[in-house]
Structure 1
């Protein structure tokens, strides 16, 4: 399951970067430390973040290749849990502790940051439940 969690951390980072940074444009990786008007710096920060996400995904794939195939529920659950771990770590470290950026800066930024943390917790719990779910019925082999 460790490989699936690592894969989920990288995928979660990609989803955050693509949706929140690029599609919604709510923030960039370094927008809490530097003026958002410096788009070259914002693009470099986002690019380095995406490069890190790619490295993490590749590590997750390499770890998957070193283990027996995971049941689909374990793979899916691990990916969801890893995405949640990404949200929790990024939310606490980048948003709350370092202030590198906030989910959506402005008067309600704390609410957005807390919602991001809540989504991380929900993803971790959902992933663990899915990965640990036992099959309730057995299919007949007759």
Structure 2
């Protein structure tokens, strides 16, 4: 046992914090880039197309609720990181950080892509293209998530081995 205020040694990087950050960053990217900048879709745009002010307001509200959820992931990640770093010295690992971020972001894409695009159909990645092409954008989004998840797992393994 160490004296109060003296960090203990040997704590590994908190992977859960990185995964939570990745979930949040994936959501921010989706919401900021795909919803706002490119305006390819909104949260409920397949159910409520942006063809009236009422539907735009409904989608904007749900975009905000979505952003609030992604913000919660980032705050939780910060809390986990702070709790672990506050109590003991951490062995910082760039590979563990980047790997866990990619795992979280990849999980975001896979879960959001499967649930919202495929299962519920509330929106699709790019609703500005012909409807027949939506599936290709949705599958690309899932493939991107799978690639990030795989790359993240690989980096994390390398980081632990080093």
- Common fold by TM > 0.5: yes
Choose 1 or 2 for highest CA Rg. 2
Structure 2, unmatched stretches of 5+, are 1-14
TM-score, length-scaled by structure 2: 0.79
Relative to structure 1, the CA distance from residue 76 to residue 42 in structure 2 (aligned partners, 3 Å threshold; closer, same or farther) is: same
1:124-135 correspondence to structure 2 within 5 Å: 124-134=149-159
Deviation at 1:35, TM superposition (A): 2.3
Relative to structure 1, the CA distance from residue 134 to residue 30 in structure 2 (aligned partners, 3 Å threshold; closer, same or farther) is: closer
Alignment correspondent of 1:99:
121
Relative to structure 1, the CA distance from residue 76 to residue 99 in structure 2 (aligned partners, 3 Å threshold; closer, same or farther) is: same
Deviation at 1:67, TM superposition (A): 1.8
Residue-by-residue CA offset, 1:61-114 (whole Å, 9 max, x unaligned): 111112243412101110011000000000100000000101012220000000
Deviation at 1:2, TM superposition (A): 1.5
CA distance in 2, matches of 1:35, 1:134: 45
The alignment's C-alpha RMSD in Å is 1.7
Structure 1, unmatched stretches of 5+, are 138-142
Q: Which consecutive aligned stretches of 4+ in structure 1 deviate over 6 angstroms post-superposition?
A: none
Pick the structure with more strand per residue. Answer: 2
Q: 1:113 aligned to 2:113?
A: no
Q: How many pairs does the alignment contain? A: 137
TM-score, length-scaled by structure 1: 0.90
